[in-house]
Structure 1
Amino acid sequence: MTVREKILGISVAVCAIITAGVTAQDPAQKPSRQDRINAMREQIQATFLKLDSDSNGVVSHDEMMQTSAKRFSEFDADNNGFIALDELPKLMPISDQQRARFERLARFRADKPEGVEKNERIRQNRQPTRLKFVARLDRDNDEQLSLDEFAAPAVNRFKRHDVDGNGEVTLEEIETSIKKRFRKQRKARRNRG
């Protein structure tokens, strides 16, 4: 084997190693199902710990409502017990979960020719505005939100996760209800086609 062949062989091996390293670290690479499950589990646990104000391993309905009331008061600038449209920012903040979902979709579409433009249109359409926010939650159509209306999505999630109906939610109950919901969604997708 000549020196030239050895150098060529080493160059090919180095290129293969570098390419393998770049491919393994590619951020656009889709995470495995188990990685997504673990990330979701960590996010659920972090949210649960924030809600569990007395650190007893259980989130009560009162703890959930206290958190909702705290968030409500952040928007209720005049402290009159209602959130009016002008008290809200023009573009409402989005949750970390919504942001992560959008970023995953953006990475997926980035390789396509129309992907960047489409990502921007989707971002603008999905960015919650104060008008969309109030329209979605305002049940009595008075164009302002009461605490009950503001907390309704959280109350509905709490009821869904309270598997045994005792007014308290544990991490195990949350995992059970989420698994049940995913099974139901998977079954619905299979039945569609």
Structure 2
Amino acid sequence: MQPEELESRRQGVARVAAELIAREGLEAATVRRIAAELGCSTTMITHYFNDKEEVLLLAYQHIAQQGADRVQDALRRHPDDLAEVMVSMAAVGAEALSRWRVYLAFRERASYDTVFAAEQRRWVEHTLDTVTELVRGRCREEDSARETAQLLIALVHGIALQTLFDPDLWPEAAIRAALHSQVRHLLSD
């Protein structure tokens, strides 16, 4: 099997695992359940992965990359609109809500699993670097760019968490309004 085909199959398993986690939670993502979702045997899963932990890690990387791709798309469409870039990170739309359900499941896991904690830190650091670059030169004091980026990311995370529990409290319009308001506030002179 060619390396590209192998990676494609591994990504397919990761995608299905992430979808299962989004629907039913991390505990539902057993090798047996993932295989059933794929319509294959558990042997097929164990052929491509050393263990369930490897499947879960790739599932997290899969959704984290989707989130990063969404941010890059927003940067292309709105290069000068930091608020819209922040909206692209938020739990806006069905796909983003699913992704945030998976993020939340893995955040709990990262609280006691060093491998998942390191992976989460890596993706958060990547996002923080991206937002810091967007903020640099636009906030009140140059040395506060990273702090401002941290505040904006924390706001997105907090709203996303609340949206998962109470979507009526945070419809898309409210999320957009809050992020636009806070970007204006944090970047005002």
TM-score normalised per structure 1: 0.31
Q: Which TM-score applies when normalising by structure 2?
A: 0.31
Choose 1 or 2 for highest CA Rg. Answer: 1
Judging by fraction of residues, say which structure has more helix.
Answer: 2
